[in-house]
Amino acid sequence: MMFSKSLEYALRAVIYLCNESSEHAKLNINQISTAIDSPEPFTAKILQTLVRRNIIASTKGPGGGFFIDSKAKPIPVIDIVDATDGRSAFERCGLGLKECSESRPCPIHNEFKSYSYKLQNLLTKKTVQDLARGVSEGKSFVTNF
């Protein structure tokens, strides 16, 4: 927190794909960006990087599109973070000091480290499939009205 736009769209798209796509029911970029209400070409770029990282799959040509195979391994949310924003927000000093460590901490070092650690831990344990389950059960949403 907070998440970049790229990460927001990536997460919404991946959760959506998790529930709505499969090897035999691919979704094209228009269908995805319409569903999750995100800018189409920008979302395309983001999905391309997820494909490159083997987080999602895609095929070209008629009937092609993006999909997540239902028998794919669970995807930790942190994988999406790594693909879009990276870890720098978690790793750099909260006050922007060049050197900030146990031996020479900034005044918020410990608090920051604790939050950062807990959050990374949470993002590592939570999977996209966990989040998708809530959506498929109607308990949560990735679409605007």
42 lies in the binding site for DNA (CB under 7 A): yes
Secondary structure in 3-state letters for 80-133: HHHHHCCCHHHHCCCCCCCCCECCECCCCHHHHHHHHHHHHHHHHHCEHHHHHH
Binding partner at 64 among a second copy, DNA, none, C-beta below 5 to 8 Å by kind: DNA
Q: Per CB under 7 A, which of residues 110..129 are in contact with DNA?
A: none
Closer by beta carbon to a second copy, 9 or else 66:
9
Binding partner at 52 among DNA, a second copy, none, C-beta below 5 to 8 Å by kind: DNA
Binding partner at 30 among a second copy, DNA, none, C-beta below 5 to 8 Å by kind: DNA
78 lies in the binding site for DNA (CB under 7 A): no
What own/partner pairs with CB < 8 Å and gap ≥ 24 does 89-98 have?
90/116, 90/119, 90/120, 91/116
Residue ranges that bind DNA, judged by CB under 7 A: 4-6, 9, 26-30, 39-42, 44-45, 47-48, 51-52, 58-66
